[in-house]
Structure 1
Amino acid sequence: MALFRIAARTHLAPAEAWRRLTAWERHAAQVPFTRITVTTEPPTHRGTRFVARTGIGRLGFDDPMEVVVWEPPYHCRLEKHGGVVTGWAEIDVREEPDGGSGARVVWTEDLRVRGLPRACDPLLARAGRVVFGRAMRVLLRG
């Protein structure tokens, strides 16, 4: 699997950073050709499920995910249950360790695309860092 980690600091309080990063539908605006549908009742909790549909027209694939750990406003873990994309992602939000204002956010993901050889893992991890790093930065900006 392609493991990658993205870390960022934000001026936002941890609770606000958490709220922005776990507004699942908002992620779609940052990932090209993707829309997200939450398939369970709000608010988000352990067991919440959503699907990221990536594609153009009828050509595309679904990336179904489930929240398996929900510890607001500090930690959540998602597991991917798709036929194309599998793996997991974790979002961690912490107060700045030096006692300053703001928060430190770490997004860790272990990603696999079925049919893609393991030799492609470094390229997949790099693409993940670019796409999800951009998404994280934009979501934290507002």
Structure 2
Amino acid sequence: MPGIRIVRRTPLAPAEAWRRLTDWERHGAQVPLTRTVVDTPPPNRVGTVFTARTGVGRLTFDDRMEVVRWQPPEEGRPGAVRLEKRGRAVRGWAEIEVRPLPGGGCEVRWSEDLRPFGVPRVLGPAVAAAGRLLFARALDRLLRG
């Protein structure tokens, strides 16, 4: 599938943007018909596992993810988190970077490589376009609070 990349600038401090973007349960609230459950005890770190379940009734699929990189932003240094998608329905990865901007605020870069099981390659561009819309909406809502 073609990659997904979304970039946003926000007046939020990097630490606050990071806090909002790594509150995994809030991610589910931004995606229609989705609920996110963290499967490991806090705090977030390498090894944190969570599942986003999307669907209605029996027609659901799980997007199980594990944090494999956890580097919160610090003074003058960007933050980055990498998630490996380990579900049966969706494979791939996601990365979120939070970069401080001169004068305040930060830039957020959200990248995804989605490989949904059973979706033919020919549908890749359509899946990527839908993913861009969905993830851009989620990112905007997470940053808005």
Q: TM-score, normalised by structure 1?
A: 0.96
Q: Distance in 2 between matches of 1:29 and 1:50?
A: 14
> Does the alignment pair 1:102 with 2:113?
no
For 1:46, what is the secondary structure of its paired residue? coil
> What's the CA shift string for 1:66-118, capped at 9, x where partnerless?
0000001200000001111110000000011xx12100000000001111111
1:137 is aligned to: 140
Q: Which runs of 4+ in 1 moved over 2 A?
A: none
Preserved CA contact (<8 Å) 1:2 1:112: no
**Following TM superposition, by how much is the alpha carbon of 1:120 offset from its aligned partner in structure 2, in angstroms?**
1.0
Counterparts of 1:63 and 1:23, CA distance in 2: 16
1:55 is matched with which residue?
55
The CA deviation at 1:50 is 0.3
Q: CA deviation at 1:2?
A: 3.0
The answer to whether the Cα contact below 8 Å between 1:51 and 1:63 also exists between their aligned partners in 2 is yes
Number of positions where the alignment pairs a residue of Structure 1 with one of Structure 2: 140
Unaligned runs of 5+ in 2: 74-78
Alignment of 1:3-82 (within 5 A): 3-73=3-73, 74-82=79-87
Question: How far is the alpha carbon of 1:51 from its aligned partner?
Answer: 0.5
Does the aligned pair in 2 maintain the 1:77–1:90 contact within 8 Å?
Answer: yes
Q: TM-score, normalised by structure 2?
A: 0.94
The CA RMSD over aligned residues, in Å, is: 0.7
